[in-house]
Amino acid sequence: MRRFFASIITLLLLSCATDSDSYKLSGTAEGVADGTEIVVYNLEDNNQPVAVDTLIVQKGAFSASYPKTDKLILGYLALENPQGSVVFFPENEDLKVTIYKDSMQKSYVSGGRQNEMYREYSTKISEFNGIKRTNAQRYQQARREQDNLLSVQIQQENSQLLLEEQNYKLGFVNENKNSIFSLMVVAEMLKRKEINAEEAGNFLNNLPPKTAASQIAATLKESVARMNRAGIGSVAPDFTAPTPSGEMLSLNETLGKYTIIDFWASWCKPCRIENPNVVRVYEKYHDKGLNIVSISLDRAGHKDRWVQAIEDDKMDWYHVSNLKFWQDPIAKDYNVSAIPATFLVDESGTIIAKNLRGPALETKIASLLGPVSE
């Protein structure tokens, strides 16, 4: 969770006007050796941390003052001994840091609504994670003891817990729409697929003006727009890429009555496991109008592995690859962050389904093209 927040780009936060033109950052670090350096970092627009100050622990304490500004940023304090970091939100008011030598994860910053919200949220999520760990241990023990009834019960409890966690997050962000921190939570939920692009878009459309003007809101809007470009009901983004023989092939050249756009790679074990099912469906329905074009996310210099995998898995359909791994521009256009990933399009190129695998894939194709006599 902290790693996520420590990777967010410059934030524009609401400022709190006071009579002073500076705010104080002070803290305690009980047990931390005198002379220990605490580096203060800000994250700039290019998402790179910039060291802005170095504080020295003396007699278990440290402090500094910084000028107030309308452009507030996400910051963090970094230590080497003990090793770790503490996220904080400068809000043009005095902040108090509490560092625990034996538990950097429990260290925190107080002062300002953003910091209080961050602490409240982090504490609650830690509670959820603790229950998940306990449930995982209980489940493993039940499996060892072959207690199937208890195993099912624990799975049901975990499903309910995940629902509670998601509802907590949704309630949290909807109650704090004037908070940049809530935008960070929405971004994380979208990344984890706990919400979809439409839900994130609805949240963004109802933000107060100052929050909507923040850089993180702009970045999140870009992500939502990118997802919507490859959403169900949208026209599949066209692309042109090299085939194994080196010729250039476009999506429009591959379209049949229905076409599966398949993202995979030779190194992807789940993809290779699913390939026989895709081959079987293709062989049954190709003559009725089913086409497939596979986009490989193999790495540069691994063309031979890509081509060999096509042959080994008997994938007798269209293939392209830029051999750019996760930097593949087609994958980015389709917002693909995990494989296998599939998009089913009709003859006009409109996306009508996504990520169909196993029996669900054949069931869908059969409903569109009709059953095939065995």
Summarised one tens digit per residue, pLDDT across range 64-123 is: 999 887 664 778 999 988 899 999 988 888 999 999 998 898 899 999 888 898 999 999
296 burial type by CB count under 10 A (0-12 exposed, 13-18 middle, 19+ buried): buried
At 148-197, the pLDDT tens digits run 999 999 999 999 999 999 999 999 999 988 887 888 899 999 988 899 88
Q: Say how many C-beta atoms besides its own lie within 10 A of residue 238's C-beta.
A: 11
What are the backbone dihedrals phi and psi of residue 38, each rounded to the nearest 5 degrees, phi first? -120, 110
Average pLDDT of the residues in 202-212: 89
The pLDDT value recorded for residue 256 is 96
The pLDDT value recorded for residue 10 is 33
Amino acid letter, residue 58: Q
150 burial type by CB count under 10 A (0-12 exposed, 13-18 middle, 19+ buried): middle
Q: How far apart are CA 347 and CA 138, in angstroms?
A: 50
Q: Which fold has domain 2-111?
A: Immunoglobulin-like (2.60.40)
CATH architecture of 240-369: 3-Layer(aba) Sandwich (3.40)
Q: Say how many C-beta atoms besides its own lie within 10 A of residue 67's C-beta.
A: 9
The domain segmentation of the chain, as residue ranges, is 2-111, 116-229, 240-369
Contacts of residue 118, defined as CB under 8 A and 6 or more positions apart, other chains included, come to 5, 87, 89, 109, 181
Return the SS3 of 78: strand
The pLDDT value recorded for residue 70 is 67
Q: What is the DSSP letter of 131?
A: H
Contacts of residue 355, defined as CB under 8 A and 6 or more positions apart, other chains included, come to 341, 342
Contact (CB, 8 A) for 194 and 166 = yes
**Residue 225, pLDDT above cutoff 90:** no
For residues 21-51, one letter each, b for 16 or more C-beta atoms within 10 angstroms of the residue's C-beta and e for the rest, the string is eebebebbbeebeeebebbbbbbeeeeebee
Residue 35's region, left for phi above 0, alpha for psi from -120 to 50, else beta, is left
**Residue 7, pLDDT above cutoff 80:** no
Q: What is the largest CA-CA distance in the chain?
A: 82
Query: pLDDT band for position 21 (50/70/90)?
Result: confident
Contacts of residue 143, defined as CB under 8 A and 6 or more positions apart, other chains included, come to 151
Q: How far apart are CA 174 and CA 172, in angstroms?
A: 6
Q: How far apart are CA 113 and CA 92, in angstroms?
A: 11
Q: What is the DSSP letter of 237?
A: P
Return mean pLDDT, the chain.
Answer: 89
